[in-house]
Chains A and B, each alone.
Chain A
Amino acid sequence: MMTASGRETTRIGRIAVWTLLLGGGTLFIFPFFWTVTTALKTWEQANAYPPVWIPKPFQWINFYTAWTTLPQPFHVFVVNTYVIAALSTLGTVLSSALVAYGFARFRFKGRDALFLVLLSTMMLPGQVTMIPVFVMWNKLHLVDTFAPLILPSWFASAFSVFLFRQFFMTISRELDEAAMIDGCSYFGIWWRIILPLSRPAIITIVILSFIDGWNDFMGPLIYLNSLKHYTVSIALNMFQDQFYTRLDLLMAASLIHIVPVIALFFAAQRYFIKGISMTGLKG
């Protein structure tokens, strides 16, 4: 087994690592375990003390209740959330990678100052710009559509630009220069050299961006008015209005919310394979 320091560990080293991972893993999975088991409990069991560890029988009906209680069938919310998350992820990845390329590879006047400006957009708490931003979208007649939630991502996100920039700057310039000599355009270098070498970064942004879009609450709350446009996070909140004392149902509803992203995350792991991407030229 190869670790970060790149050498086969000793038996003891391996045992130590796996023990740590298992120990920490139990700790970290415990709350999730609790969520799942509580979702399968009856209400009395959920409130019991001393705590009920594993309920018998499993109340699968809780999931059904959570799914069907809202006036709109739940799958509508799921589709809405997916559309928003997927389209904004696509936009984020493409535009941020492009912009980061500009910051990472080119020297132009005001570059560092502009980069600081980019970062500074993350430093102002959103609450004070909420009203002017909302007014703007309203003037464009785009309230109660998905546009305010998707369009801005197509103009690069500061977080993603920063991340891509850091990654791009670890790629040796010699590759660029070799490509240029072969007649590649700047755009071609970006598409054929930089991007493929940045696979871990791209996958990271895809995961983070999608999850962000999936879990976003404030955005949909502010910009969406019709029930049929609502997203899963809003539905979950409305569900909470009625069932705020029913821990079992709340946990069931929350699980419905997070299972898709867990699946996405797990599936994306196959791209986090050590040794596939190389930043060096030699070897």
Chain B
Amino acid sequence: MSLALEKRQLSTRASLYLRTDAWGYLFILPWVIGFLLFTIGPMLISLALSFTTYDLSEVRYAGLHNYHYLLGRDPLFWKSLANTAIYVAFSVPLGLTGSLLLAMLLDTNARGISIFRTVYYLPSLTPAVASSLLWMWLLHPDIGIINFALRHLGVTHPPGWLQSESWALPSMVLMSLWGIGGARMIIFLAGLQGISEHYYEAAKIDGANAWRRFLHITLPLITPVIFFNLVLGVIGAFQVFTNAYIMTEGGPNNATLFYALYLYRNAFVYFKMGRASAMAWILFAILFVFTFIQFRRSRRWVHYEGGE
């Protein structure tokens, strides 16, 4: 190779890294503009509001009062946080595993697989109005299908599901499971499809069996997607709202009072916007810390082919 050619190649490489700064900023500009225009103002306003009592007509400075009250004297705050944490602790791992398994089962080109994928996706497509009605129907202690089936199987006192204080929260977790064929699954599917067949063939030639192929090829290569679903799964699950709002109104006896529902109540029913803003920012802090930790730890287990 001529010296001139080598030099040109070297300088191209060098400039690849030297000029990257400005270009990076340019590409993310649309988001930055949008953030400055639409997002940061309202976010800062809500942060400011959390230090006030704002009942929709007048704003009065209140210092840390809202935070003190929530964290120190409000039993419902802790109840709603506990309810939500339990929900997250169960629905996220179950959901992730379920979605991944489902995605693997559906990751084929077999004829008719589109039908199956659509069938599994159907529950996620149903609008909340219809799906909540459906679930209330299915879970109805007397005439619902589920207890109908349970009674046929010999269970004499089937659970009261949404009407029972101890079964309401598990009902919510159960309902979340029906989303395992949903967005998360599609994303896993997309991730699985991005893995080149070549890797598997090479492994086969080396004599690896199915389990080892899964462990050493599939799993590592979809860690970026697992990471995505994990982080967003937790962020989303902590904000669970609709089902409780429509179906149980937080009951019975606050068994399904989720954090976001209690927040909504403070904002729109009690007119305590300051209190609600404080709740929002406490949640923000929790989620931010969690995500930050996850990002740090991801260096160890998430594998990006294209490098960081």
**Which residue numbers of A lie inside 8 Å of B, CB to CB?**
1-7, 13, 17, 20-21, 24-25, 28-29, 31-32, 34-35, 49-51, 95, 98-99, 101-109, 111-112, 114, 116-125, 127-129, 131-133, 136, 152, 154-156, 159, 161-163, 166-173, 177, 180-181, 186, 190, 200-201, 203-204, 207-208, 211, 215, 217, 233, 236-237, 240, 247, 250-251, 254, 257-258, 261-262, 265-266, 269-270, 272-280, 282-283
Interface of B is mostly: helix
In the bound complex, residues from chain A placing their C-beta under 8 Å from that of B239 are 125
Q: A25-B116, A128-B273, A170-B221 are in contact. Are A272 and B129 (CB under 8 A)?
A: no
- Determine whether B117 belongs to the interface, using a CB cutoff of 8 Å to chain A: yes
Interface size on B, residues (CB 8 A): 121
Most A-side CB within 10 Å, residue of B120, B122, B134, B199: B122
Asked whether B28 lies within 8 Å of A114 as measured between CB atoms, the reply is yes
Asked whether B284 lies within 8 Å of A120 as measured between CB atoms, the reply is yes
Asked whether B114 lies within 8 Å of A269 as measured between CB atoms, the reply is yes
Asked whether B34 lies within 8 Å of A152 as measured between CB atoms, the reply is yes
B277's partner among A34, A128, A171, A280 (CB-CB below 8 A) is A128
Number of A-B contacts (CB under 8 A): 326
Q: What would 11 A/B residue contacts be, using CB atoms closer than 8 Å?
A: A13-B210, A17-B105, A21-B106, A35-B130, A102-B24, A128-B277, A129-B45, A173-B306, A177-B16, A247-B137, A279-B196
Contact mask B106-122 → A, CB, 8 Å, 1/0?
11111001111111111
- Listed stretches B88-96, B141-149, B153-161; interface member: B141-149
- Determine whether B195 belongs to the interface, using a CB cutoff of 8 Å to chain A: yes
Q: A28-B181, A95-B31, A200-B191 are in contact. List 14 more A-B contacts (CB 8 A).
A: A3-B108, A5-B218, A31-B135, A32-B123, A95-B30, A99-B30, A112-B295, A122-B235, A124-B284, A127-B276, A167-B191, A186-B27, A208-B186, A247-B133
**Which residue numbers of B lie inside 8 Å of A, CB to CB?**
9, 12-13, 16-17, 20-28, 30-35, 37-39, 41-43, 45-46, 49, 102-110, 113-123, 125-131, 133-135, 137-138, 142-143, 145, 148, 178, 181, 183, 186-187, 189-201, 203-204, 210, 213-214, 217-218, 221, 224-225, 227-228, 231-232, 235, 239, 260, 263-264, 267-268, 273, 276-277, 280-281, 283-284, 287-288, 291-292, 295, 304-308
